[in-house]
Amino acid sequence: KTLNPQWREQFDFHLYEERGGIIDITVWDKDAGKKDDFIGRCQVDLSTLSKEQTHKLEMPLEEGEGCLVLLVTLTASAAVTVSDLSVNSLEDQKERAEILKRYSPMAMFHNMKDVGFLQVKVIRAEALMAADVTGKDSDPFCVVELNNDRLLTHTIYKNLNPEWNKIFTFNIKDIHSVLEVTVYDEDRDRSADFLGKVAIPLLSV
């Protein structure tokens, strides 16, 4: 019940040069029991922003009224990564020694927010639902999320048994976090179709 909301939420997105740098943002009115109403949208072109600097942006909402106020910072980060299964940093003895040193009892109070290190191998999916118009195939990709860190695999087209063979590396900031792994069907003309999801509490790992 407000036209001037303050969310004060922080989201960490991971930018790869080859994928471009446009962030699409939509604003909605949440309606209990029925479909949410569209309020407006805006786009942020990250290529126009200088790096290692926080930018305050006031973005007018297209197809609606008002504006969205954002703080955007582009910075280098090696904490969260995606790599191929053939490149496993935990099997690199030097890398493993650095990680063990980083989380040793002696370093426990160095950074209280750096709780740990999580590596997830997304190998494959089997017997996915067919979501294409033909009803025979899907174009699946997998999204792995931990808090506001969101990484995804490439899409494998026309395959209900895709093999991605990717490694996702995250920093753990809260041991009570839940790892969410979701599979979608890519649709170039509209939003991706949901194919399935699994949630894994870190405390169960």
Q: Is the pLDDT of residue 135 over 50?
A: yes
Q: Are 143 and 150 in contact (CB under 8 A)?
A: yes
pLDDT of residue 140: 95
In the structure encoding, which two tokens stand for residue 36, read together?
Answer: 């949410």
Q: Where are the domains of the chain?
A: 1-76, 117-204
Q: Indicate the pTM of the whole model.
A: 0.59
| Terminal-to-terminal C-alpha distance of the chain | 40
Q: What is the pLDDT of residues 60-116, one digit of tens each?
A: 999 889 999 999 988 765 566 777 776 555 566 666 666 666 666 555 555 555 577
What stretch of H or E contains 99?
helix 93-102
Q: Are 41 and 27 in contact (CB under 8 A)?
A: yes
Count the neighbouring beta carbons within 10 Å of the beta carbon of residue 202. 17
Q: Once rounded to an integer, what is the mean pLDDT over residues 23-52?
A: 88
Q: What is the pLDDT of residues 142-162, one digit of tens each?
A: 999 998 788 889 999 999 999
pLDDT of residue 18: 46
CATH 3.40.50.1360 is held by the domain 117-204: no
| 3-class DSSP assignment, residue 96 | helix
